[in-house]
Amino acid sequence: MNFESEIVNGAFYQMLYFTDYVRKFNFPAKLGDLGLKDRFHVSLLKIPLENLTDEVRQKLEKVGQANNEILIKNPPKLSGKFLCVVDNNRERKIVVALVDFPSIEQWRAKIREILPNVKFAIPHTTLYTNGCAGIFLNDEEDLARMARELDPETKKTLRATWEAKS
């Protein structure tokens, strides 16, 4: 498990990679027209660069790294709930697994000391994509607008795969 910060598409991201954990489930390589990703992470934070000074970014990186142990002591776990997420504006379709991540609230409290009004992503990991990047789920509103129930067969396959290793 490792914590990373990076700048992608005009935004500052922080994420926790847990690829080895997700791989142990042996999810199928394909789900219809979607392919299984190679690496898996839980997005923790996304801030557009125009809203972020260099000083704040450096503070976020320090706090994130310094409090990494909070996240690792009680690491994220797949919850067993899977959703299809569609962003028609960008022609993106993905399948995500929602994540149980109790320790994230402690980490978020540390980040709020720097950015009191920051919004945090819904804990999830993208399992499958249609060749696109993931879709950042900023809040419950994004989830309600873009999430779709999976078809029964796909849901059954993913759930059985998850249950076999949980």
Q: What would the DSSP string read from start to end of 4-61?
A: EEEEETTEEEEEEE-HHHHHTT---SEETTEEE-S--EEEEEEEEGGG--HHHHHHHH
Q: How many domains does the chain have?
A: 1
pTM > 0.85: yes or no: yes
3 state DSSP class of 156: helix
Q: Which amino acid does the sequence have at 55?
A: E
**Mean of pLDDT values over 63-68:** 75
Q: Tens of pLDDT along 84-136?
A: 988 777 667 889 999 998 888 888 888 898 888 888 888 899 999 887 666 77
CATH number at residue 37: 3.90.1140
Arithmetic mean of pLDDT over the chain: 86
The parent domain of residue 22 ranges over 2-165
- More reliable by pLDDT, 3 or 34: 34
